[in-house]
Amino acid sequence: MTDALAPGATIGILGGGQLGRMLALAAARLGLKCHVYDPDTGAPAAQVAAAHTHAGYDDLDALRGFAAAVDVATYEFENIPTAALDAIEAQVPIRPGRQALAVSQDRLAEKTWLSGLGLTVAPFAAVDDAAGMEAAVARIGAPSILKTRRFGYDGKGQARLHAADDAAAAWAAMNGAPSVLEGFVDFEREISVIGARAADGQIACFDPGENVHRNGILHTTTVPARVPRALATDAVLLAGRILNALDYVGVIGVELFVTPSGLVVNEIAPRVHNSGHWTQNGCLIDQFEQHVRAVAGWPLGDGSRHSDVVMTNLIGDEVFAQLGVADAGLHLYGKAEARPGRKMGHLNRIAPRA
């Protein structure tokens, strides 16, 4: 408990969306206060936090004021400008640390780093211009996916190549943004491991969940994943290697493809993760509390699973059909407007462990 925050201390959260909101609720359960930083006055997390700064990520004065008001800073998204991070870190620690952000902000850096760790990733090649695109497609082939190196999420900033002929159109769709061409991975299923590492190096991972996407957005996560026990163990050990290599503090999401030749790392997210929302109703300690505990310098909690869970995202106006649901854990994000494609909430259906 060295350097652990005392109850009543304040965690700063960069980003006030649903992840920040659920982090703030978990911190409140532990008697900790939260201060949310978000440009949007209507940010979902602001409704449940003790304090809120609404200012842009380029407003260094506001960032310094925020840092002065908190005991430690964390974040709900990885695309935070470097200057903003520098301004905060001059005053308080940022957890998870800068290496995790540097690696995960850039798909090329991420794949290069994961490969260097000896992990398997999809074949990839950097694409910075039309000539590079041609060279990349010659090497990686098709089907493949071109993705911007930065700022992509939920299928945005991506173009599929069904055949090599699609290369020019795919590159045009990137609007000149530095990109990565990723080879197609013929996977049986996608799973993810939500792992946590405390400041003292203690690691706790949740059971792997199996993810199904719709329209490029996570649709369901089912736990346990339908994989052999040995593979589930491998997945957890792999997440542990990543956590240790990054000297990580907090919760990480590791997306993995299950293939006939083993596990392929799809991507890592240095934060709580949508595919870990099942933990809220499946475990004594959920991913949000685990992250708060790590960031606060507390020991991790018991993340073992008491129930089987199917988590279903509620996208756009799907949410209205579910307000009366009684047989599931309902989690709504307090967003004013149910725009198409917007994550409005999720449902956790539980069953006794099979």
> What track of x and - describes contact with a second copy for positions 255 through 274 (by CB under 8 A)?
--------------------
Task: Round to whole Å and give the CA distance between 67 and 139.
Answer: 46
SS3 of 168, please? helix
Q: Nearest Cα to 67, choosing from 30, 78, 80?
A: 80
Kindly tell me which of 270 and 301 has the beta carbon lying closer to a second copy: 301
Query: Where does this chain touch a second copy (CB under 8 A) — which range of 98-106, 115-123, 152-160, 281-289?
Result: 281-289
Determine if 332 is a binding residue for a second copy (CB under 8 A): yes
Determine if 8 is a binding residue for a second copy (CB under 8 A): yes
Q: What values do phi and psi take at 313, rounded to 5? A: -75, 145
Query: Where does this chain touch a second copy (CB under 8 A) — which range of 67-75, 98-106, 230-238, 297-305?
Result: 297-305
Determine if 25 is a binding residue for a second copy (CB under 8 A): yes
Task: Round to whole Å and give the CA distance between 239 and 237.
Answer: 5
Please report the DSSP string for 281-322 in residue order. HHBSS-HHHHHHHHHTTPPP----BSEEEEEEEEEGGGGGGG
Determine if 315 is a binding residue for a second copy (CB under 8 A): no
Please report the DSSP string for 231-256 in residue order. HHHHHHHHHHHHHHHTT--EEEEEEE
Q: What values do phi and psi take at 282, rounded to 5? A: -110, -10
> Which residue type occupies 130?
A
Residues 146-205 that bind a second copy (CB under 8 A): none
Determine if 301 is a binding residue for a second copy (CB under 8 A): yes
Task: Round to whole Å and give the CA distance between 307 and 83.
Answer: 43
Determine if 329 is a binding residue for a second copy (CB under 8 A): yes
**The one among 39, 109, 307, 342 contacting a second copy by CB under 8 A:** 307
Determine if 292 is a binding residue for a second copy (CB under 8 A): no
Shortest spacing between CB 132 and a second copy, in angstroms: 46
Shortest spacing between CB 196 and a second copy, in angstroms: 12
Decide: 282 and 326 in contact? Cβ < 8 Å: no
Rounded to 5°, angle at Cα 290 from 190 and 82: 80
Q: What would you report as the CA-atom Rg of the chain, rounded to the nearest whole angstrom? A: 20
**The one among 70, 300, 310, 311 contacting a second copy by CB under 8 A:** 300
Which residues contact residue 51 at a Cβ distance below 8 angstroms, ignoring those fewer than 6 apart? 10, 33, 34, 35, 36, 69
Query: Where does this chain touch a second copy (CB under 8 A) — which range of 27-35, 101-109, 115-123, 158-166?
Result: 27-35
Pairing verdict, β 158-161 and 189-197: unpaired
**The one among 50, 117, 135, 164 contacting a second copy by CB under 8 A:** 50
Query: Where does this chain touch a second copy (CB under 8 A) — which range of 117-125, 143-151, 255-263, 293-301?
Result: 293-301
Determine if 331 is a binding residue for a second copy (CB under 8 A): yes
**Cα of 14 vs its chain's centroid, Å:** 14
Shortest spacing between CB 301 and a second copy, in angstroms: 5
Shortest spacing between CB 296 and a second copy, in angstroms: 10
**Cα of 5 vs its chain's centroid, Å:** 24
Q: Give just the sign of the alpha carbon dihedral 302, 50, 20, 45.
A: positive
What one-character DSSP code corresponds to residue 5? P
Any idea which residue has 């960069």 for tokens? 14
Q: Is 56 annotated as a binding residue?
A: no
Shortest spacing between CB 157 and a second copy, in angstroms: 29
Kindly tell me which of 172 and 351 has the beta carbon lying closer to a second copy: 351
Which residues contact residue 28 at a Cβ distance below 8 angstroms, ignoring those fewer than 6 apart? 34, 48
Query: Where does this chain touch a second copy (CB under 8 A) — which range of 68-76, 126-134, 135-143, 302-310?
Result: 302-310
Kindly tell me which of 24 and 119 has the beta carbon lying closer to a second copy: 24
Q: Is 154 annotated as a binding residue?
A: yes
User: Which residues are annotated binding-site positions for ATP?
Assistant: 107, 147, 152-158, 182-185, 190, 213, 266-267
Which residues sit at the interface with a second copy, rule CB under 8 A? 1, 4, 7-8, 21, 24-25, 28-33, 47-50, 281, 284-285, 298-302, 306-307, 319, 323-324, 326-336, 345, 348, 350, 352
